[in-house]
Structure 1
């Protein structure tokens, strides 16, 4: 059965079974240099030895004799442990149960195999993980189901390509919110006939060997604009070289004042702690030292506001940030900032001084704004000037 299924898996370009092919090498195992682990184990439990002579039995076992003959009795050809039962076999442990092998562990059943857990089921591999379904017959009850009744489903290729392919349709939909596609360089949607839509840089290119139809009840062309999109950040075992220049001050820009003498700490919080609550509020537990898993670095803020981390401290902090996204925080007074690396779909045209100032909440000159943006800012300025409790601090703004 294992050899049969393994051959079909190979035809479907899946990961082959080392227990059927060979673990130590092709058709080789620790038990037998000339057979794969399953074949070697099958031969070991199929042995027969002389039943009337101890020396003859030892000779047959050493020669790995497996032929049935008069005067022969069943006996293992190698020092293995065999457990067998005609009806069933149960193993029960009040606490833990562990299966460990120096070469391979192979699980197989003639029909179904079920794993049921009340907590979490984790599968960790040092190389690859292969799952192939529907090898013998297809139908409504065959295939592969990945369902999360509650919570997210994450599929990531952290250091290489993620491919989603199907012989027929691929359907993607959202029952309540949106479906988003983002890439730092290029997105291309194309058909075999040659029609395509390409999003690259700040351009959209529509190509069609035939006709392009635009059907709409209203057409409106606004002025150009740009917007960055946050791309996923994956855990990295070896962080990229980076110099951390950390500075604490009360506001962005050259006129910010550093909280001189205030204690700062770079800490790691537990993985299960919900740091950012609904509405964007930071969980007060972030400031509770009893909730911290580890203090990576700490000190007093100098007059310059610059946190002088040594190269060793920078590497340590950077490694923790890359290995634990969202769990490393810089805390100073009543301020907490997540030290999370971010990659954006920002082009070189967007990395201008105006864009950077805009990201730091600096408003542009009103004379440089188009009418739509000027009206939008005017509404917010009027609302800001009328905010409750602020009348005594500043006059109302007239836009």
Structure 2
């Protein structure tokens, strides 16, 4: 087999990992290498990935050595090895090991200093102040502070960790990605639970912006090796996963466009010299008509296959930049395709805005829909059976947990 120009090496094996592997397969017919510590349904029984399993792959002591043990074999197959991370933890591990990995792999990530400025939310909101990005009213809360302190805004409020990576590793009963608290009692209870675990980092307390899932938006971008934006694609969120531990994960998005937002965040990303994939969570605040940023993820998001589904293949911009060094004009997404990570009947049933529901039904009739894990070129009976069984659980999950907030 002739040596390829490049080979994707994807860290992790979840929906995000499969979405990127599918993007590479659709665009280049390439089977991706998936380096991971175990098997997840998303990449099981797949013909478009080749798995390399490493015990304790997410341990900082063994992470780099695991990847270095692959380099000789992979370099015989691909001229350039592209690292793609499927979650924050793998980005951090790769960036902190850049000095030993970069002689062998291309790391399309931000610098270690910029990573720290972005992933620690109190630092990130200072950055928002500097660059005039709107964000919710925020209080920085540290362990040991009085949970009965006066807040500059009323309940409901949002409680979430500043250090999402350290919080990811903390395990405790009733854990949620973020807490929406309606009273002082719920506020104190959430803080007590969090600090009763191994998590001792800062918490972010924020003003709750009114509105249900349909007031959320997600902006994806790719910035090249010189810090120039090459692609931006906006998605209008219809539904989030209501399962408590998965709140914040989008499960239905329709392609959208907003040139004012594109221009604003292009200026910001280029001003700070961002490189690689950016995934930006926004919420529209009807009280003042502003889109407010929650966070900037330094990787493509779990639901970012919606970008590929809308016609802007996520792998293309990385390959054009890091493999072929082509400086192509910036692409702004303006297509309208429905991406769904749950059965379509649930999307129709639980989307609360009547106009959006009508739009969803129209897109379904026109066949303008896509789902990350159902790929026609990666079909097998066992894979489809297991995916079907998994997605059926969402009917019960929405019945049990769905709670639209107006």
What TM bracket, shorter-length normalisation? under 0.3
Rg larger for = 1
Higher helix share: 2
Higher relative contact order (CA 8 A, sep 6+): 2
TM-score, length-scaled by structure 1: 0.23
TM-score, length-scaled by structure 2: 0.22
